[in-house]
Structure 1
Amino acid sequence: MDTIKQYSRLLLGALLVVLSLSLIFVVGYAQALKSYQQQSRDAVLAQTEAARIGIEQILSSGVPLHDIAGLEKVLSPIVQADRSVVDIRVISGQQELYRYTTDDFDGSLITIPLSNKFAQVGVLEILLSDSEVEKAINESFRPMIGLIAILVVLFVFMVLRSDDPRIYFTAFGMVFLTMSVCVMMMVGALYKSGLENKANSMANIVTQRLAPVLTLGINPDHVSGMDAMLDSFRQSNKEVSGIVVESQSRLIARSQGDQAMAAVESVAEFPVADSKGNKVTISFNPKALVSKLLQILKNFAILFAGCAFICFAFIRLLSQSKKKRRSDVVLAQIKPLLLVTVLMESLMAPVLPQYLTQVALENGGTEAWSSYFFTVYFVGFAATLLPASRLVEIFDIRRVLTIGIMLSSFGCLMLAYDSHLVTVLAARLMSGVGQAVIFISVQGYILRFSDQSNKTQAAGIIVFCFNAGFISGAAIGALLADSLGESGIFQLSALVGGLMFLFSMVLPSMKAKSGNKGTLVDNLKSMMRDSAELIRVPSFIRTMLLVGIPTKMMLTGVVSFAVPILLSQKGVAKESIGQVLMAYAFAVLFISGKVSPLIDKFGSSKWALCLGNVIAALSLVVLGVAFALEDAGYTVYVATASMLVMGISHGFINAPVVTHVVSSTTGNSANSVASTYRFLERLGHVMGSVVVGQLIASFGNQSAFWGLAGFFAFAGVTMWLFDRPAKQEVMA
């Protein structure tokens, strides 16, 4: 029997490795395709610019567009620039003067106007086919499929050589890291290939501009201004640091680039020679290339981190010791389930705002209507928290959990197939209700399977899963949105929910400890009575007003609302804005994991809450400084530092605050206390953007943030001075 269990576990581990490495493959492939498409487009645009210059030189001499001979010779280098070019047309009015092929292709169209000295006389159209770019990426990534097979065999070999369950985690870590590194190396190779294509296109432009010297045999000594022309071309392409033109090994012209870069330019030089002995050497600025490559690799690192959160959460289940307590096993099973159900909703985040805006416009509304869809989701979530907390006390938690997963999944599926106003409203309401039921069910499992020794660490599971799920879902969803489309993303979210429905079957069936059933009305009355009693407990309401609600206000009002808008107003790219916000999520994850064990060890959470408020005040002071800076680059750096500090602050608060309200409110159901707290702190979510937005509008960025900093400093000191142990608390 043990042998059967061992091989079943190994088979499950191998399957998880296949799925995990396939996820890395898909993510790497999609990101490489996206980057290579942009490089291909840049190369084609550079070559098209050369063709436009050649044609307009002739037009400026007085020759009509339809009388130009040899268009094929001028335009053929565009086809040679990149395999994605499938058709070229020159059109004057309604007349088609030239077409490269008569075949029909699907793709994206680039239109370049053609003008003489006085007006536009025609257009040059370039048709790019994404399928040709995909073929190039497919050829590069095809060996990765074999690599997956090799790594799976390596994983199985390592597991069979050891009886220690921890070998699953070690072996998985090795193959996961190997696959990630190989994919990143492939991206580097594709980036270099794209640079070569771009260098070829630029060299063709230079050759065409210097054609009298290079092809007609005119003595270069009799031609002036060539160096200035090359220097002008270099300055219009910021990535280029130098251009050298030679003919028969004789220097013809060179740009006046930064001489300080000459010593390191050789690492980014691309010489392009022709059959006539002419050579054009394009040197790229190493700093610019490294910066762009690091940007691409940074995007990959975030995507791979998202994959790692998902994959390692599941592999830990296989690496657990057989002697581990049942409660620890259940908590370990809860972690991947909650993470992926959060991911199910956050996968849609990159496309949902645009989709909801489109739905609002199609149904006769305005763009502002899209906010109502988000409000409906929140109303469904908030209104379900307290009823769901009662449901998990009188029914089997696992059954309640599966109902929540089904509701959330069905809400995603409705978005994929129907865009009517009522359907979308119902879908968002259903998703909000479903996510709330999932949240309360998971919280119920955590409270029932944790004790004094690990209750804060158990509560930290929720903090970890919400942040990790957001990072993973948003990063992967943004990447796959282009290839899957809105409907595909919604279907993928529903599929993820279906898989989590099956996974939830491994959790234990947990009936209510008491036989309390009663009617629905009786349970609702009891729920409201318990909530009213909690609001009268000084410790509970003090924690809520000084810590809980203000912290959630900062999350929605500052992190999600003010920072993105203010950075956007400074012209910061959306990608950079997203990475500033991710700094917050990563900081919360890291600090929460370190603080939770300390809370359980020392038995007190008040110090963490007070310290978190003081750190929040510091982060707001830094944020006020950030948006007072004129330079957008420095603003991004300082804002990132502020978000890291804000994340540290919330890492001290998010998990310990639940422990604090439960331990300081004696004589009440722990699940009821936690659910009531979670419900009331949502007021911070609702008020956050309104309050922060009004403060900024009334007092300006710096004064608003510094005023909020003063409040958090005051709240931290007040909490430290006046919060008392539970035994000293009395009902008001």
Structure 2
Amino acid sequence: MTTGSGGIRARRLKDAAILVLLAASSLLLLLYVAFSDATRVAEQIQTEKLLAQGRLLQGEIERFVRPGLPIHQFVGFPAQAEAAREADPLIGAVGLHDTAGRPVFPGWEAPDCDAARATPVRAAASAAMTCLTGDAIRVALPVADRFERVGDIVLTTPRRAVAAQVERIFASLLAVVLAVTAAFAAFVLAVPAALDGARRWRRIGFAFVAAFLGTTIVIVGALVGIYSDGAQARATALSRSLAIRLDDVVAYGLRFDDITGIDALFSEYRQVHPDIRAAALVVDGRIRARSGGAEIGAPWVADPGDFNYAVTVSAPGAHPVVQVRVALPRSTVYVQVARSAKNFAALLVACGLIAGILMGAARAAQGEDGDGTAPARGEAVGALVTPVFFLAILSEHLCYAFLPQTIQAAAAAAGLPAGAASAPFVAYYLAFALALLPAGRLEGRVSARSLILAGLVLSAIGLGVMAGAASLAGGQFWAALTARGLSGIGQGILFIGVQGYLLATASPARKTRAGGVIVFGFQAGMIAGMAIGSLLVSSLQPQGVFTLATLVAAAAALYVRLALPALGASGRPAPDAAAPLGRVVATLLRDRTFLATILLIGAPAKAVLTGIVLFGLPLLLARHGLPKEDIGQMTMLYAGAVILASRLASARADRTNDTTGLLVQGAGLTGLGLILISLAGGGPTALAVAGVTVIGLAHGLVNAPILTHVVEARIAARVGAANAAAAYRLLERGGHVLGPMIVAQVFLLAGQTFVAMAWIGAVILAAGLLFLVLSRRADDGGAAEAIP
């Protein structure tokens, strides 16, 4: 009895340790991605501050050189540079360089930047070059006379100085995470052992959700403070810069009436910082010089709708009291905070998915999920295998927000035409499709678990090659081509293994929902991968993100090795037919119903996913200046819409058996979504967002029901349902392969424009209508006819 009691106690401690480890991992992941996003935003704000200070210096030097004076005679540069550094303590170096990159004034220079890592930024009438290296943020602004560029203003900030400000805040947040984790551990241990599994897990689940949401609220509060302070930091720094420039006038007792150009100085200030409503020199409460706001001589009145900044220029107690006053609309700050909060919301969704899926797997692994019936056991196995597919897809999509641009740059470096950028994408999907056939045959001889493990290892190797390809210069493209092929083979083998694992355990009444597990795992992995990868790339660089993806795939392989049970022989269904898959495919392609399904619905849906959502649209959005994080979040909306619609469509298909109507609706919505995207070229980006979301809803109506449509067709009774499903999965990959090729050719012929999306949308709509007509004829004609 004592031994039994000790064994139960030991098991409870083990279970509690696993749950606490998962909770701690989830909360630390949330904290890490929040820290990365906060650091990225802080660096963006500091870059804007460098640009603003640089433009002030640029304007003053250009006024000197435009009459024809040589740049090295601008003797006021050291004083101006020191004023900029005093106004913003984070500025590490300020330099004035000639066209050859040599410092004009010894002792005032800034480090060089690798041009290959520079990002061009254009604002107003001046061009600037920003460069983010491993240890510094560098901004260079050209100085030109009336005829040519004569030098550059260069400002730098150590990245460590920016990170240190964020770290001070997140050190306290780390303490909060550790405290919440300890409280969760205490709660898990305190749950009575006498409770049945369902009630116990319900309490633990509520506690985990409360811990996750509570931590999120604390982190969000800290982030809003960081974002709000950062949004106001540029106005504060420039206010101090203006005050420093006027300090000599006050210090020497000069009259502002005797100084010319003060109004021009404030006008230039607003040009540098157009977000502000007004800037003014205020003497004893009345406006002496201003840009925007009230007239000269009027009292300065603070508007409640503004953030108001005041920097006193005169000494304490001196008269008159001289101040620089700046008014920044609160709405401007709130918009910037909302944009940063949007990025964190995307990360929150990603972390929530990871946490929820892993907690579900932990529950299933401990044997406390369900009532012991066959459907419940199937759901438990689905909960165990879902993290595998989820992590595999997540590892692939960590790099998709920047992969098209990276490969396009690698193709250009290798001297290849622009159309070659689609080749690695084609290689991935072609390798994926070709791997399905041998993997499907192997699944009858080896365990599905072995296929899953082999697929993950190959995928990890492919991602590792991509991580190492960044240092190959011109050979990067060919390495990427090889790497994507390896990953495609791995993902194809993995897909067959996961599908076989699920079909071997799902009850007949829930076959569409079993397919929905694959759909959910794919879309959830896409959401998490795109959210995390698109935001981490700014700090880790593409090579670092590829390395992270390799580690995720390797971790999934380790999970399979340690936690996923092998299926016994009795648990695996026998194949429906022994005919070779090639003969099965030939038989299916002579059936009008199957041929219409694959050519008019299945393959076009996959082509739209790979050719437009993952390849063409990111290129178009990047050309229009959309940040990587926005591109990634747009793809997240697609995946989220797929998950939402797929859940509803799967349940409806199992309940009504009306898969034809769902497929036709999916085709129609796909065409509508593409047309909406085509309008984004001449309109707001919101149209592209709406179009991608509609396409996601459309594909959610297609992805799971289409497999049920195939296996319940009359021809499936002749070749076997399993063989029909395998043949369909193989053939639909043709859409994956053709998608990037077709879009690349459309871009070559018509240019990289949004208009091409409308033509593709029209083709999809026509295909959906034709499928509807053919389906009705098949229903009216009785048995499906084979094409002779």
Q: What SS does structure 1 have at the residue aligned with 2:95?
A: strand
What residue is the counterpart of 1:81 in the other structure?
87
Distance 2:408 2:259 in 1: 59
Note if 1:717 corresponds to 2:746.
Answer: no
What residue is the counterpart of 1:648 in the other structure?
697
Note if 1:540 corresponds to 2:594.
Answer: yes
What residue is the counterpart of 2:400 in the other structure?
349
CA contact (8 A) 2:83 2:244 kept: no
CA contact (8 A) 1:611 1:649 kept: yes
What residue is the counterpart of 1:488 in the other structure?
544
CA contact (8 A) 2:419 2:744 kept: no
What residue is the counterpart of 2:485 in the other structure?
429
What residue is the counterpart of 1:139 in the other structure?
168
CA contact (8 A) 2:707 2:725 kept: yes
Distance 1:511 1:468 in 2: 29
What residue is the counterpart of 1:178 in the other structure?
214
What residue is the counterpart of 2:566 in the other structure?
509
Note if 1:600 corresponds to 2:654.
Answer: yes
Q: CA 1:228–1:336 in structure 2 vs 1: closer, same or farther (change >3 Å)? A: same
CA contact (8 A) 2:243 2:312 kept: no
The one-letter amino acid of 1:97's match is F
Q: CA 1:668–1:710 in structure 2 vs 1: closer, same or farther (change >3 Å)? A: closer
Cα RMSD after superposing both structures: 3.7
Q: How far off is 1:223 after superposition?
A: 6.5
Q: How far off is 1:335 after superposition?
A: 1.2
TM-score, scaled relative to structure 1: 0.87
What residue is the counterpart of 1:270 in the other structure?
309
Q: How far off is 1:47 after superposition?
A: 2.7
Distance 1:623 1:125 in 2: 40
Q: CA 1:61–1:490 in structure 2 vs 1: closer, same or farther (change >3 Å)? A: closer
CA contact (8 A) 1:394 1:517 kept: no
Distance 1:327 1:70 in 2: 77
| Range with bigger deviation, 34-43 or 357-366 | 357-366
Q: CA 1:380–1:333 in structure 2 vs 1: closer, same or farther (change >3 Å)? A: same
| Range with bigger deviation, 580-589 or 504-513 | 504-513
What residue is the counterpart of 2:282 in the other structure?
246
Q: How far off is 1:146 after superposition?
A: 0.6
Q: CA 1:294–1:716 in structure 2 vs 1: closer, same or farther (change >3 Å)? A: farther
CA contact (8 A) 1:373 1:425 kept: yes
What residue is the counterpart of 1:609 in the other structure?
663
Distance 2:394 2:625 in 1: 29
CA contact (8 A) 2:66 2:145 kept: yes
Q: CA 1:194–1:278 in structure 2 vs 1: closer, same or farther (change >3 Å)? A: farther
Q: How far off is 1:585 after superposition?
A: 2.0
What residue is the counterpart of 1:279 in the other structure?
323
Q: How far off is 1:33 after superposition?
A: 0.9
**Residues 269-348 of structure 1 aligned to structure 2 (within 5 Å):** 269-276=308-315, 277-319=321-363, 321-324=368-371, 325-348=376-399
Q: CA 1:525–1:485 in structure 2 vs 1: closer, same or farther (change >3 Å)? A: farther
The one-letter amino acid of 2:16's match is L
Q: How far off is 1:152 after superposition?
A: 0.3
Q: What SS does structure 1 have at the residue aligned with 2:277?
A: strand
What residue is the counterpart of 2:496 in the other structure?
440
Distance 1:26 1:515 in 2: 42
Distance 2:588 2:43 in 1: 58
Q: CA 1:98–1:114 in structure 2 vs 1: closer, same or farther (change >3 Å)? A: farther
What residue is the counterpart of 1:406 in the other structure?
457
Q: How far off is 1:42 after superposition?
A: 1.8
What residue is the counterpart of 2:423 in the other structure?
372
What residue is the counterpart of 1:462 in the other structure?
518
Q: CA 1:27–1:46 in structure 2 vs 1: closer, same or farther (change >3 Å)? A: same
Q: CA 1:114–1:685 in structure 2 vs 1: closer, same or farther (change >3 Å)? A: closer
Distance 2:351 2:288 in 1: 52
Q: Deviations over 1:541-571 (max 9, x none)?
A: 2322332122223323443455445556666
Distance 1:449 1:507 in 2: 13
Q: CA 1:364–1:45 in structure 2 vs 1: closer, same or farther (change >3 Å)? A: closer
Note if 1:21 corresponds to 2:14.
Answer: no
| Range with bigger deviation, 268-277 or 204-213 | 204-213
What residue is the counterpart of 2:529 in the other structure?
473
Q: What SS does structure 1 have at the residue aligned with 2:766?
A: helix
Residue among 708, 711, 720 paired with 1:662: 711
Q: How far off is 1:2 after superposition?
A: 3.1
Q: Deviations over 1:129-175 (max 9, x none)?
A: 11111112211211121111011012223333434112332222222
Give the unaligned 5+ runs of structure 2: 1-6, 113-133, 296-300, 316-320
Residue among 194, 200, 205 paired with 2:230: 194
CA contact (8 A) 1:36 1:133 kept: yes
CA contact (8 A) 1:272 1:280 kept: yes
Give the unaligned 5+ runs of structure 1: none
CA contact (8 A) 2:282 2:323 kept: yes
Q: How far off is 1:340 after superposition?
A: 0.5
Q: How far off is 1:711 after superposition?
A: 0.5
The one-letter amino acid of 1:460's match is G
The one-letter amino acid of 1:432's match is G
Distance 1:670 1:349 in 2: 34
Q: What SS does structure 1 have at the residue aligned with 2:717?
A: coil
TM-score, scaled relative to structure 2: 0.82
Q: What SS does structure 2 have at the residue aligned with 1:253?
A: strand
Distance 1:330 1:490 in 2: 30
Q: How far off is 1:346 after superposition?
A: 1.4
CA contact (8 A) 2:531 2:629 kept: no
Note if 1:582 corresponds to 2:636.
Answer: yes
CA contact (8 A) 1:618 1:709 kept: no
Distance 1:623 1:174 in 2: 39
Distance 2:369 2:391 in 1: 25
Distance 1:726 1:135 in 2: 74
The one-letter amino acid of 2:170's match is F
Q: How far off is 1:352 after superposition?
A: 3.8
| Range with bigger deviation, 32-41 or 545-554 | 545-554
What residue is the counterpart of 2:125 in the other structure?
none
CA contact (8 A) 1:531 1:676 kept: yes
Distance 2:675 2:229 in 1: 46
Q: How far off is 1:6 after superposition?
A: 2.2
| Range with bigger deviation, 372-381 or 435-444 | 372-381
The one-letter amino acid of 2:461's match is F
Q: CA 1:723–1:566 in structure 2 vs 1: closer, same or farther (change >3 Å)? A: farther
Q: Deviations over 1:339-393 (max 9, x none)?
A: 1001111123245445545655666655544432222222211101122111112
Q: What SS does structure 2 have at the residue aligned with 1:502?
A: helix
Note if 1:97 corresponds to 2:108.
Answer: no
CA contact (8 A) 2:671 2:765 kept: yes
CA contact (8 A) 2:509 2:654 kept: yes
The one-letter amino acid of 2:338's match is L
Residue among 122, 126, 130 paired with 2:155: 126
Q: How far off is 1:658 after superposition?
A: 0.9
Distance 1:134 1:352 in 2: 27
CA contact (8 A) 1:91 1:98 kept: no
| Range with bigger deviation, 402-411 or 163-172 | 163-172
Q: How far off is 1:581 after superposition?
A: 3.6
Q: CA 1:460–1:727 in structure 2 vs 1: closer, same or farther (change >3 Å)? A: farther
Q: CA 1:127–1:644 in structure 2 vs 1: closer, same or farther (change >3 Å)? A: closer
The one-letter amino acid of 1:609's match is L
**Residues 635-714 of structure 1 aligned to structure 2 (within 5 Å):** 636-664=685-713, 665-689=716-740, 691=742, 701=756, 704=759, 707-708=762-763, 710-714=765-769
The one-letter amino acid of 2:594's match is F
Q: CA 1:57–1:609 in structure 2 vs 1: closer, same or farther (change >3 Å)? A: closer
What residue is the counterpart of 2:585 in the other structure?
531
Q: How far off is 1:591 after superposition?
A: 1.2
| Range with bigger deviation, 538-547 or 146-155 | 538-547
Q: What SS does structure 2 have at the residue aligned with 1:609?
A: helix
